[in-house]
Amino acid sequence: MSNIIEAEGLKKRFGTTQALDGVDLAAGEGTVLGILGPNGAGKTTAVRILATLLQADSGRATIDGYDVVKDAGKVRRTIGLTGQYASVDEDLTGIQNLVLIGNLLNLSGRDAKARALELLEWFGLADAAQRRAKTYSGGMRRRLDLAASLVGRPRVIFLDEPTTALDPAKRQDMWEVLRRLVTDGSTVLLTTQYLEEADALADEISVIDHGKVIAHDTPDGLKRQIGGQRIRVKPTDRARMEDVHRILAEIGGNEPQASGRDELTVAVNGEDALAATVGRLAADGIAVTELSLHLPSLDEVFMTLTGERVAGDGTTTGSKEVAA
Amino acid sequence: MTTTATTQPARRPVPQAAVTGAASGGYFRHIIAIAKRSLIKMVRTPEALIDVTLQPIIFLLLFTYIFGGAIGGSSADYLQFLLPGLLAQSIAQAGVALGQNLNADIEKGVFDRFRSLPIGRSVPLVGAVIADIGRYLILCVVTLGFGMIMGFRIETNALAATAGIGISIAFALCFCWISVFVGMKVRTSGAVQGIMFLIVLPLSFASNTFVNPETMPDWLQTFVKINPISQLVTTMRGLMIGGPVQESLMWTLVWMAILLIVFVPLALRAYRKRT
């Protein structure tokens, strides 16, 4: 078995809600598997089962060949877990949080402290080491939480929505940290609500919805499937909408969609699409207030894959809210 | 649609030696590590010590000076009667906070990390219980110290009184597993407090802690006799102001064993099942 993370047919029901309805997952050693889905899709439930915190109703899962139920102890020696809600102890200082984990992992007092200092340095928390975690900002807590999951140098790391609720700049910082993790050789399973994040970090992506994997591919493969990037244009003068429509239709080779007030979006392929759009708009003398190239949002991904919209609360329509 | 074999991107080097070490040999060390965490939190949040500092002082003052004369003839006589009992009653109540704290820890997700570590399943609970000894010690020192300022005198000897304190702390370590169990079972820490007071208050008042139960109706006297807190109170009185202790001590030990046998497995099971 070459996959360090393997899950087959995982099912889990909470009351009347089928949180997982037969999920298969696989990740090779040293790779990053992204699990993309809206709130309540079952991402966290899947992670909790793989991390031995929860038992599936049926199906099986192994980490490095060890069954997550029968060999839970061995699995726990292989994994590190960073939860959706930063689970650091607020009354302890940064260093105390990490030394505690080191002690629980049988490091000697000296080794636990050395490892704690090393990680605090690594995560840019050295100056805050002696401060209580209560005083940390949201981004600092996330980093401390991540550091805590790395104390034992785990070969498999579970990151449950590591950047949710972080502002864009902090998210970029977090990505940098995660990239370094992966270059250290760890296998990472990352859940996220952002295609952009999965695209930036993952080698392969499983899209999950209503407790089922609805797509699995590399980021490029997935983008091909859902139509790659979008160009969005908002002309200054509404009267030029028709011209914009014509230009975008030619460049994208498909029908542009109205994506907001006086705004058109078209799926494009090829790296030169944006430059071509700018060129054509300029040639026709069309002024724009907004022009952007972006990856499809989760909403657009799900529209393409399932024909369902993601509701404002992040769940796909028709799904029941799950404490997942 | 299902995922099948992944195409493997270029393998990266595997990290060096993952943590090894026997989980079994570390059990005691792990408990100490968790207990240390609780003690750090205790020092950091002194306001959480009110139930083992200010509360027993206020109870001592209220009962001694308001009810003392009416119940015990004089405040001074009543204080001698009250203090060993109040110590026993308060120490049983002091475990309520433990269940609340554990409940809060689980809600915050702190325990998810512990559960994902290769440590014994019971370590987080047992470690927290062990750390609670600190609170019980504070309670004993404060109650006895303030009682002495008010005029309480140990009528036996220092050794017997120390033994009494030791037994009451040991009793509290068994009794608190009810609180741990409730903490694992209910959703919020407020509910832990509510349920625990429903258990602790009747046990505290339907006992010989505050009054001599002779005037109570027969059925209540029967309850008072069985009540584990009564047995502890009688033992404490014997060890601090004199009187027979053998029988009540035996029943106290029996109750401690029952509490452990029933509530430790229940608490651990509830902890395992908690998601």
* pLDDT tens per residue, range B103-151: 999 988 888 889 999 999 899 999 999 999 999 999 999 999 999 999 9
Among B36, B37, B116, which would you mutate to test the A interface (most chain A Cβ atoms within 10 Å of its Cβ)?
B116
Report the DSSP beta bridge partners of residue A80. Answer: A157
**B126 vs A298: CA distance, rounded Å:** 44
Contacts of B20 in chain A (CB under 8 A): 77, 106
**CATH class label, A229-294:** alpha beta
Which pLDDT band, with edges at 50, 70 and 90, does B176 fall under? very high
pLDDT given for residue B273 in this prediction: 85
pLDDT given for residue A320 in this prediction: 37
Give the chain B residue whose CA is nearest to the CA of A51. B116
pLDDT given for residue A86 in this prediction: 63
pLDDT of residue B72 exceeding 50, the answer is: yes
Which single residue is written with the structure tokens 């512990």? B114
Contacts of A13 in chain B (CB under 8 A): none
Give the chain B residue whose CA is nearest to the CA of A82. B113
8 A C-beta contact, residue A223 and residue A293: no
pLDDT of residue A15 exceeding 50, the answer is: yes
Please write down the HEC assignment for all residues of A83-116.
CCCCCCCCCCEHHHHHHHHHHHCCCCHHHHHHHH
Which pLDDT band, with edges at 50, 70 and 90, does A226 fall under? confident
Contacts of B275 in chain A (CB under 8 A): 48, 53-54
Shortest alpha-carbon distance between residue B104 and chain A (Å): 11
A26 to B30: CB separation less than 8 angstroms, yes or no: no
Which ipTM did the prediction report?
0.83
CB of A148 within 8 Å of a chain B CB? The answer is yes
pLDDT given for residue B25 in this prediction: 61
B20-24, B25-29, B38-42, B47-51: which has the minimum mean pLDDT?
A: B20-24
Contacts of A53 in chain B (CB under 8 A): 112, 115-116, 275
Residue A132 DSSP label: B
pLDDT of residue A307 exceeding 80, the answer is: no
pLDDT of residue A294 exceeding 90, the answer is: no
Q: Can you read off the two tokens belonging to residue A314?
A: 């992040």
Domain extents in chain A: 3-88+136-224, 229-294
Q: What is the interface size between A and B, counted as CB pairs within 8 Å?
A: 145
Q: H-helix or E-strand containing A120?
A: helix A109-122
A225-234, B5-14, B56-65, B191-200: which has the minimum mean pLDDT?
A: B5-14
Q: Which fold has domain A3-88+136-224?
A: Rossmann fold (3.40.50)
List of residues 6+ apart from A124 with CB closer than 8 A:
A143
CB of A26 within 8 Å of a chain B CB? The answer is yes
pLDDT given for residue B171 in this prediction: 97
pLDDT given for residue A309 in this prediction: 59
A4-13, A69-78, A271-280, B213-222: which has the minimum mean pLDDT?
A: A271-280
Span B152-168, average pLDDT: 96
Highest mean pLDDT among A301-310, B6-15, B83-92: B83-92
pTM of the model: 0.82
pLDDT of residue A68 exceeding 80, the answer is: yes
pLDDT of residue B74 exceeding 60, the answer is: yes
Span A232-245, average pLDDT: 90
Contacts of A74 in chain B (CB under 8 A): 118
Which pLDDT band, with edges at 50, 70 and 90, does A311 fall under? low
A184 to B15: CB separation less than 8 angstroms, yes or no: yes
B12 to A183: CB separation less than 8 angstroms, yes or no: yes
Can you spell out the DSSP letters for A269-318? -STTHHHHHHHHHHHTT--EEEEEEEPPPHHHHHHHHHS-PBPTTSSBTT
| Average pLDDT over all residues of chain B | 89
The residues in B 58-97 lying below 8 A from A, measured between CB atoms, are none
CB of B33 within 8 Å of a chain A CB? The answer is yes
CB of B43 within 8 Å of a chain A CB? The answer is no
Shortest alpha-carbon distance between residue A53 and chain B (Å): 7
For B214-254, write each residue's pLDDT tens digit.
Answer: 899 999 999 999 999 999 999 999 999 999 999 999 999 99
A92 to B40: CB separation less than 8 angstroms, yes or no: yes
**Nearest neighbour of B110 by CB, restricted to A24, A87, A154:** A87
Shortest alpha-carbon distance between residue B273 and chain A (Å): 8
B3 to A216: CB separation less than 8 angstroms, yes or no: yes
**A259 vs A230: CA distance, rounded Å:** 11
Give the chain A residue whose CA is nearest to the CA of B28. A104
For A97-155, write each residue's pLDDT tens digit.
Answer: 999 999 999 999 999 999 999 999 999 999 999 999 999 998 899 899 999 999 999 99
Domain extents in chain B: 29-273
pLDDT given for residue B136 in this prediction: 97
A152-156, A239-243, B52-56: which has the minimum mean pLDDT?
A: A239-243
Q: Nearest CA to B183 among B103, B263, B107?
A: B103
